[in-house]
Amino acid sequence: MRRVAIVGVGNMGGAIAQRILDQRWPVQVFDIDPAKMAALKALGATPRDDAAQAAIGCGVLIVCVVDAAQTEEVLFGPKGAAQVMRAGQAVLLCPTISPTDVEGFARRLGELGVSAIDAPMSGGPARARDGSMSLMVACDDAAFERQRAVIEIMSNKVFRVGSKPGDGARTKLVNNLLAGINLAGAAEAMAMARRMGLDLARTLDVIEQSSGQSWIATDRMRRAIAGDYEPRAHVTLLQKDTRLAVEAARQAGFEGPLGPAAHALFARAADAGFADLDDAALFRLLSQ
């Protein structure tokens, strides 16, 4: 059962597929974009017509779509994988979705004897490609051990955050809320530096070696000051993730000041026409 299915082979899913293909594991893929499947076919993957066809004969299905609605379609839609999956197979839930949705998917899969592994990811396509992204895994020990080999191919930074599906999603939302806050702060600081007439590249050099440093600031602001807004992570992704994080915080009885402000800024960027740009476009928004 070394055969792996991946549904959603965009930036992250495509990089994961290449990583697994490098290890000479058979990979079956499905995506609504035929060009993405064709590119992976050239590397040895087998394209399938839908999620159900992709899941047949695979030990694990890796779901790498955007949100809960797409995950629902992949698993339980008219051509969803759940209708063909059998006891002993597993599903890795990699999208950033609400803990409640993860718990619901896990319960429904469990009724079929299919293990649900809550495994949101972080790090971007380059780190997914070289196996250095982080995976926040929550599932029972038996399911983890059965899929340990493929999980450790996907990432050399695997964090077992709990045994209950949903806790991976909670951890990811905490992380992504901080990422959103850090990115919003970096964009504001660099827009301020621009208005002050500072050399932006040199200012970023200073920040990267000083107390203001953050990974997302370096990654996004280098591109932003070069005018590169080609999407690696669309504005809409952190707009969604910060919204989910704020909602999860409220459900837990917590209300912070910065999360809602960061979410409002991503929403403002989307409304300003930047939804399909890289989330580095916050700098462009704040520089106007």
Which residues are known to be catalytic? Answer: 172
Whether 25 and 53 have beta carbons less than 8 Å apart is answered as no
43's CB contacts (< 8 A; 6+ apart) are 17, 18, 21
Identify the three-state secondary structure at position 131.
coil
d(CA 281, CA 156): 30
Token output for 84: 């063909």
Please give the Cα distance from 259 to 262 (Å, whole number).
5
Q: Are strands 90-93 and 115-118 parallel, antiparallel or unpaired?
A: parallel
CB 238 within 8 A of CB 248: no
Any idea what DSSP says for residue 24? T
**At a CB cut-off of 8 Å and minimum separation 6, what does 68 contact?**
95, 97, 98, 101
